[in-house]
A and B are shown apart, each in its own frame.
Chain A
Amino acid sequence: MRKTATLQKIGYRKIIYLLVLLSATIPMLYPIGLPVIVTKQTQDLYEYIEKLPSGSNVAIEFAAYAGMYPDAQAATRAGLIHLFRRPLNIVLWHTTADGPMLLSGEMKYVKMGNRVYGKDHVFLPYVAGSEATTAALGTNIRGVFKSDSYGTPIDQIPLMKNINKAEDFAVILVMASAGGNEEWAVRQWMIPHHIPVGAYTISITYPMLIPYWRAGSVIGMTNGVRGGAEYEALIGSPGPGLRRTDVMSSVSLLYVALIVVANVEMMREKRPKQ
């Protein structure tokens, strides 16, 4: 009789779940602080924002969902800190109902300095309608939004006086999207209006954006927690990304170990009996 796989005999699910729990909690309690290598995509995004001339208008499509947010949080927070640190004019709107709640949580970590709401940054409310809305915003912002998040009519906001379409912005940045928003921005802002697109995105969306990055449609993007950690290192502001990289490393090593164990067991089972 062939030898039964060790893990299967004991009840492999229970053991694996226990190992995952340990590999996730131990690095949280005893962080190692492994160095993070900054990838080209993150570096490109950082440098593009860093080189934007003072007073440039930046559009932010905030597309955060609560469920996926742990993966996007680090990059989103680091991105906001970076953008608000630079003398840029920021116009932000939400494409998810969760957005306003999640943004208010992140803004606690952003140093506002001498910034004045309405003069150098504006928060617009949530708008439904997916890609079609992104297209409409590219041609006429006032057609979509009549007032900001606080109910002030757009025409009474000083910053919005000269802003109404995609061409009025230097770049559009998609933040915390769970997929789709970046491609909408490429199709509706980059292709017709030639406005560069940047993305602070989650790991699932990241590989889908690589063709756009290689083609030059996307200037750069971050990759989930890892990308968030890279961005935190670039702006010199450690946060949730760098704290979570040790957990990511240990869990990834566990995955590789499980793959090795599974294949060794499979080979042992296939080997003919002596």
Chain B
Amino acid sequence: MSKTLKGKELPILVMWIVVLIVFSSYFFGGSTLESAFKTLTVDWAIIITNIAIVVGSLALMQRSITLARREKSDKVDRFMQIWTVVLAVILFIIGTTLGIKSNIYSWIYNYILLPSWQTVYTLIIFFMATASYRAYRANNKYAVVLLISGVLVLMRNAPVGASIWSGFQDIGSWVLDVVNLSGSRAIMIGAMIGAISLLIKILTGREKILGE
């Protein structure tokens, strides 16, 4: 029994049960199958998500404390590592005791978390600017194609593009609607075929990630 638990038989068996229920519910329906599908996809998904959040939070805290205790790290780094752990604990306590609709939680969310996340996201424009200077170079014919299509889509998206030349709008849209379309469809079909082949590999025990 213990050998089976350690091996890949048990994960494969679980996979087979899940796949059969999910597949059957699409093709046959019925209240029993629907109920099993709902239990698997919603109830278990919520349970696993919540467990993952707890495990992830603890791992993050552990890592932050380890980094803060390193002798090499400077004072600012140590302070930030500890501060993030403390803030996480405070938020957890406030969220669970007062609820997410409380004024204090809303204040922390709206005036600390939201601006911080949005600032990190907005910093991308600086990196994109340096990337456009470093990466968009017409070194070969492929790079030229990438450069031209990139500039066309850029000028199509910016309202100033149409003000400079109305053609930017039409050609940029053509790049998105026709060129991008064919590439995206190929990628989507390829990804789905890949997913099916991975599923077959897992179900037949040929995938190395299970029990090895």
A positions within 8 Å CB-CB of B: 7, 12-13, 16-17, 19-20, 24, 34-37, 39-40, 66-71, 100-101, 105, 127-130, 132-133, 135-136, 139-140, 143-144, 192, 203, 207-208, 210-211, 214, 223-224, 226, 229, 245-246, 248-256, 258-259, 261-263, 266
Contact = CB atoms under 8 A, between A and B. Distances in A.
Interface residues of B, number: 57
B118 interface: yes
Contacts of A254: 129
Given A66-B118, A70-B118, 10 more contacts: A19-B129, A20-B125, A20-B126, A67-B118, A130-B45, A143-B34, A144-B42, A253-B160, A256-B154, A262-B137
Interface string B81-114: 0000000000000000000110000100110011
Interface in B129-171: 129-130, 132-134, 136-139, 147, 150-151, 154-155, 157-163, 169
Interface string B23-48: 00010000000110110111001100
B159 A37 contact: yes
B181 A214 contact: yes
Contact of A37 (B41, B120, B150, B162): B162
A27 to B, nearest CB: 10
Contacts of A101: 100, 106, 109-110, 114
B66 interface: no
Contacts of B110: 101, 105
A19 B133 CA distance: 12
Given A129-B45, A130-B45, A144-B38, A226 B159 contact: yes
B45 A262 contact: no
Given A7-B133, A256-B154, A266-B137, A245 B159 contact: yes
